[in-house]
Amino acid sequence: MLVWKYANGIEGNPVRENRRPLIKGIGNSTTIPFDVEDKKTAHLVLLSLTEAVTARLRQSGYCARLVSVSIRTNEFYNCSHQRKIFSAIDSTNAIHEIACELFDELWKGEPIRHLGVRVSELCQNDFQQIALFEKDYSKQRALDQTVDSIHAKFGNGSVFRSSFINSGVRFSSGGTIDDEEYPMMSSLL
């Protein structure tokens, strides 16, 4: 009888308004148009990816408990690594620091063609778990929110880190060429 009701469009559940879709993870990756052969450039690409991921994370109203990094070499060898965090975070610097640590553990020195950063195990960011030995990210959170509001009002190029100047790596996009020329690859799972 229940199947017949569903088949005929009859259901007794109330309609839910403003229901957000369940997001399992937020990620960003890029295929780099040149081989990355040094740690500094790889960390800059990871920073660009992390800025894009964490901006979307905060915009969605989430914090993450799991950070993942993926690498594809110029020989198309893929590898990835992830780390679970004690307390959920949405801080760009904190997630970038973890992503760089994961990258350093994973990378064997071969030329890189593709990098990705992903966060998952998401939870609402309306509370902050305070731990005795964890860093306090309240000032960083305020800075990230200020930068997000400036980007929303004036565009992504209005404020960016000086480390991107003359580096060949685009800020807040994950790409290395202008966004119009090189579409950003991202996932919202």
Q: Is 16 exposed, middle or buried (CB count within 10 Å of its CB: 0-12, 13-18, 19+)?
A: exposed
Collect all residues with Cβ–Cβ distance below 8 Å to 41 and sequence separation of at least 6: 167, 168, 169
Query: Hey, what amino acid is at 89?
Result: I
Tokens standing for residue 16: 């839910």
Angle between helices 92-106 and 138-154 (to 10 degrees): 100
pLDDT for position 128: 59
The answer to whether the beta carbons of residues 29 and 113 sit under 8 Å apart is no
pLDDT for position 175: 45
Nearest to 92, CA basis, from 57, 42, 131, 66: 57
Taking the whole predicted model, whether its pTM rises above 0.95 is answered as no
Tokens standing for residue 29: 């990756």
pLDDT for position 42: 92
Domains of the chain, each with CATH number or no CATH: 21-125+137-188 (3.30.1490.100)
User: Mind listing the pLDDT tens digit of every residue in the chain (189 residues)?
Assistant: 788 888 888 887 777 666 666 788 999 999 988 889 999 999 999 988 998 899 899 888 899 999 999 999 999 999 999 999 888 888 888 999 999 999 999 999 999 999 999 999 998 876 655 555 566 667 777 777 777 777 778 777 666 666 666 666 666 554 444 444 444 555 555
